[in-house]
Every structure is written in C-alpha cells, then in structure tokens.
C-alpha cells in the first residue's frame, strides 16, 4: 500500500556540460555525458521513496532500452511500479539537457510514451489507503495523458487523498484556465514566480502567493531559487531562506523541493520546517550532477541539516531540529 501516488512523465535524461551555447548553426562539444532516469514526476517519486515514503508511480514507458533503464532506476530507488504502463508503439520519453557552468539546465525533449498514458489502464485499487496524489503539470498538456490525470484526480477525491501539483512553466502558460479550475482542490501547489504570474495577479511574490491562496490553494510553495521559498496558507506567509550551495546542475531541484513539501504534510511538519526540508532537498539536488537516482535521500538530508544547525540562528535551528526529528 502506497502513501503517495505520483502521476506524470518518466523520461531518460542525457546530460552534457557545455561552456556556452553556440550560435544558430554552430557546434557545442562536451567532454562528459551522463544518461539516467528523469522526468518531473519520476524525480518526485524517487525523492519521496528515498525519504522513506511508500510511493507508487503512474506513467508510461516504451518497450525499449530507455524504458528498461528508467524502470530499473525507479525500482532500485524503492518506487512501486505496478501502475507503470508499457507502450509497444512509442518510445520512452528522452530529453537532451545541456548544462552551463552556472548549473543552469535547458531541455530539448520528446515526451514519447508519456503522452499515451491511458485512463482505462489506471487501477482504482492503488488509491485505497493512499494519502496523497501528486501531479506534474506536464500531464495536463496532451490527451490521453490529460484524461488520465483528470481521472486520477477524481479517484483521489473519491478516496479522500490530498492533491498536489507542480505546475511547470509550459503547462501554466498553455493550460492556464484548466489549472486555474484545479486550484481550489489543491492541498499543495508548487510553482515559480513566472508560473504564479500566469495564474494570479500580484506585484510581488508575496502578493502572488496570497492571490493563489485566495483562489483556494491550501498551501502555496513558491520557489525563489537561491533565495529559498515563500510558503503561504490561510494563516499567512513564511519566508524560508535556503542554504548556500554551488550549483552544479539544477535538473530535478524543483522536483525534489516538491517531495519535501509533500513529506512535510505527510509527517506533520510545521510550514517553516517543511520549507526547510524542501529547500534542503532542492539545494542538494542542485549541487549534484543529474536527477533521478542521483537525488538526495534521508542520510544526505540529515548530514546537511546537522552541519547547518551548528551555525543557524535560533529560529532556523528550531526548524532544523523539527526536520531532523522526523526524517
């Protein structure tokens, strides 16, 4: 039985560091290449499993070498994969990700079998006993995956699951109205400032977060990059600063952040403590090459927070101690 069900894309990422982007028609050569499992939803499922949460993945893979690689990464990380569908006609999602020296990644990808996720193949029994359904916004882009996501939302409601959504920039811009209709159903909405501007009106991040709460979101997790995050609910706003890291590769950092907020809800952390955990996961992910199985787990989180506790101010020390007591 799973505590958390995650629905969305499962991909294979091909990561390459480059010194700079070439002009159109030019070349950029890399001295390193890493091939590993990824995809926004798969990354969050893996991060949850590595924190000790029983997580089940709903997605679709091609019957190819990439699909075998991704499936093995999920199972090796402890993710339940019985709800992962297999597609004989489409390839597994494949993304090429050049990464510049500042750690910023840009993605060029083919979503492949992900788009073909079938609503009829989702077994309602996986929702029994679960507590959270987490969606990647990319699952709302194209049919039949969009219908599968909407069906999962209805099943989650019937079984009393909380719902979380990581909007993603492209879905927030392309499916603004559809995501807007989902906001009142969300226990957690994870997004960046640009996505928030597509869904709400406000002059500042705080204004945007308040506006999303006013639209019905129970907890807004607004990602602020190196500045940490801004959490908002009906009780107010919480600015949670991040820890300083040297970014190596930001792939999967936001997905790990989502896992931290979900874990916080599952384990009853206060909002500042949940934000501290989410920031820690995101910063550790950004300091690590690649996502998927490379994402941080419980021991990495505990080690980092124990080190931070030695120099943190009183308020942050309390948040860190609360996380350490439950991770």
Predicted local confidence at residue 75, as pLDDT: 98
Is residue 25 in some structural domain?
Answer: no
Is residue 275 in some structural domain?
Answer: yes
| 44 close to 258: Cβ distance less than 8 angstroms | yes
* Residue positions counted in the chain: 327
Is residue 65 in some structural domain?
Answer: yes
Predicted local confidence at residue 226, as pLDDT: 87
Predicted local confidence at residue 303, as pLDDT: 95
Element (H, E) at 109: strand 108-110
Predicted local confidence at residue 247, as pLDDT: 85
Q: What is the DSSP string of 181-205?
A: HHGGG-SEEEEEHHHHHHH---SSH
Predicted local confidence at residue 310, as pLDDT: 82
Report if pTM > 0.85.
yes
Is residue 26 in some structural domain?
Answer: no
Q: Is the peptide bond before 10 cis (omega within 30 degrees of 0)?
A: no
Give, in order, the Cα–Cα distances in Å from 235 to each of 213, 229, 238, 271: 10, 17, 10, 10
Beta-ladder partners of 231: 221, 238
Predicted local confidence at residue 260, as pLDDT: 99
Q: Which domain holds residue 158?
A: 4-20+33-324
| 164 close to 153: Cβ distance less than 8 angstroms | no
Predicted local confidence at residue 142, as pLDDT: 97
Is residue 28 in some structural domain?
Answer: no
- Dihedral class, residue 243 (left if φ above 0, else alpha if ψ from -120 to 50, else beta): beta
CA distance 168 to 40: 9
Is residue 273 in some structural domain?
Answer: yes
Is residue 119 in some structural domain?
Answer: yes
Predicted local confidence at residue 50, as pLDDT: 98
Predicted local confidence at residue 245, as pLDDT: 83
CA distance 115 to 137: 12
CATH label of the domain that carries residue 273:
3.40.1190.20
Split the chain (327 residues) into runs of 10 and give each run's mean pLDDT.
Answer: 97 93 89 94 98 99 98 98 98 94 89 98 96 98 98 98 98 97 98 98 97 99 95 96 85 96 98 97 92 95 92 85 96
The candidate with the shortest Cα–Cα distance to 151, out of 265, 3, 5, 2, is 5
Count: domains in the chain: 1
Is residue 276 in some structural domain?
Answer: yes
């Amino acid at each position: 039985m799973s505590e958390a069900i995650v629905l969305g894309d499962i991909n294979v990422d091909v990561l390459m560091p480059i010194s700079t982007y070439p002009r159109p028609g030019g070349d950029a050569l890399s001295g390193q290449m890493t091939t590993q499992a990824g995809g926004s939803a798969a990354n969050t499922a893996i991060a949850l499993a590595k924190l000790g949460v029983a997580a089940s993945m709903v997605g679709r893979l091609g019957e190819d070498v990439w699909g075998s690689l991704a499936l093995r990464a999920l199972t090796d990380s402890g993710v339940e994969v019985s709800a992962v569908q297999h597609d004989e006609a489409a390839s597994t999602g494949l993304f090429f990700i050049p990464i510049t020296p500042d750690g910023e990644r840009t993605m060029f990808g083919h979503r492949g079998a992900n788009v073909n996720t079938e609503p009829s193949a989702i077994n309602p029994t996986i929702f029994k006993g679960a507590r959270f359904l987490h969606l990647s916004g990319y699952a709302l882009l194209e049919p039949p995956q969009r219908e599968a996501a909407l069906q999962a939302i209805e099943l989650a409601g019937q079984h009393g699951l909380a719902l979380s959504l990581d909007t993603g920039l492209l879905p927030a811009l392309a499916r603004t109205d559809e995501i807007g209709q989902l906001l009142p159903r969300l226990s957690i909405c994870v997004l960046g400032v640009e996505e928030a501007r597509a869904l709400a009106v406000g002059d500042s991040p705080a204004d945007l977060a308040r506006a999303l709460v006013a639209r019905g979101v129970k907890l807004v997790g607004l990602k602020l990059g190196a500045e940490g995050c801004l959490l908002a609910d009906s009780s107010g706003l919480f600015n949670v600063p991040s820890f300083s890291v040297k970014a190596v590769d930001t792939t999967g950092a936001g997905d790990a952040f989502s896992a931290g907020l979900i874990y916080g809800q599952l384990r009853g952390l206060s909002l500042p403590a949940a934000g501290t955990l989410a920031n820690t996961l995101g910063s550790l992910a950004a300091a690590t090459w690649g996502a998927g199985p490379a994402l941080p787990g419980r021991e990495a989180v505990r080690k980092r927070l124990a080190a931070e506790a030695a120099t943190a101010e009183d308020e942050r020390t309390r948040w860190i101690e609360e996380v350490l007591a439950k991770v």
